[in-house]
Structure 1
Amino acid sequence: MADSNPPVYGESDGTLQKVGGIAGLQSLVEAFYRIMENTPEYRPLFDMHPNNLELTIDKLVSFLSGWMGGEKLFTKKYGPISLPQAHAHLIITEKEKAMWLNCMAAALDELGYPEDVKAYLLPKLEFPAERIRQVSAARHNA
């Protein structure tokens, strides 16, 4: 039986459903890091990450699951998180923030997500990315 009320972004797990549930999110994050690793303009961002890519992927999938209204997997697996504080040791400027968002846009494009998904998701992701940049700037006086 078809769902006559499709999920709505920002309501319950609507955003997670729009990206294809946890399996779709896993594919998105894997594409995101593969693009980051293999695209010269994003490679400096990739090099900021720990060597254990499998763990890095799992942490982002786990975080985004809860952020998109699904199960709060990050807290379950890794404990509480403050995104800006978790990245505060890194120097994140407008350049790194833009690289991260552009890399996510490239992953969404590669996987063929519709424009409405990108139009909703990328501006929403800009908020935590900006908070990470602000905390980094305050800590590193950038």
Structure 2
Amino acid sequence: MARMSAPDSAPSAPTPATPFERIGGEPRIRQLVDRFYDLMDLEPGYAELRASHGTTLDDARDKLFWFLCGWLGGPDHYQSRFGHPRLRARHMPFSIGILERDQWVACMDQAMGEVDVPDDLRARLNESFMGTADWMRNRGG
């Protein structure tokens, strides 16, 4: 009996199913969040956004990391600690206008570029971030 030959090309690895997996899991999300807040501290173009965060960013770093892990399809660290995110309600104490919205989205886009989030995923996330950030606005300007 003749032996079957192997196919010329091996099957490609399956594409990761979630944005969480595509980004690279918790270590890469931590890297993204840390770069986002580092940029907020370093770049003058994000001054108003930075001013809205108080004196330290440590608490915000952890909360955004925990939230993004679950939102991107990974472990629900945020919900296990705090329950439903209630994003708009939790952000009501902060003055969020068009400037803060735009700076948040620009800062996150820059961070995603610097940590090499794949371009197609980066575009999808930017669209989602802009929609959410616009929904979070609680003042006109």
Provide the TM-score with structure 1 as the length reference. 0.83
Q: Is the 8 A contact 2:105 2:129 kept in 1?
A: yes
Query: CA offsets per residue over residues 81-124 of structure 1, 9 Å max, x none?
Result: 21011111122111111100000011011122231121111101
**Cα drift, residue 36 of structure 1:** 0.7
Does the CA-based 8 Å contact 2:23-2:118 persist in structure 1?
no
Structure 1 equivalent of residue 14 of structure 2 = 5
Task: Find the residue that maps to 1:69 and give its secondary structure.
Answer: coil
Preserved CA contact (<8 Å) 1:31 1:107:
yes
The reply on whether 1:101 has 2:110 as its aligned counterpart is no
1:27–1:85: structure 2 CA closer, same or farther, 3 Å change rule? same
Residue 36 of structure 2: aligned partner? 32
Match of 1:129 in 2: 133
User: Structure 2: which 5+ runs fail to align?
Assistant: 1-10
Preserved CA contact (<8 Å) 2:33 2:64: yes
Q: TM-score, with normalisation over the residues of structure 2?
A: 0.84
**Equivalent residue number for residue 62 of structure 2:** 58
Is the contact made by 1:50 and 1:56 (CA closer than 8 Å) also made in structure 2?
no
Q: Distance in 1 between matches of 2:28 and 2:68?
A: 12
Letter in 2 for 1:79: G
Q: 1:41 to 1:4 in 2, by over 3 A?
A: same
Report the equivalent of 1:70.
74
Output the CA distance in 1 between the equivalents of 2:134 and 2:22: 24
Q: Secondary structure at the match of 2:35?
A: helix
Q: 1:16 is matched with which residue: 15, 20, 27? A: 20
Matched residues in 2 for 1:51 and 1:62: separation?
21
- Structure 1 residue 3: deviation in Å? 7.2
For 2:45, what is the secondary structure of its paired residue? coil
Q: Report how far residue 79 of structure 1 moved.
A: 2.9
Whose Rg is larger? 2
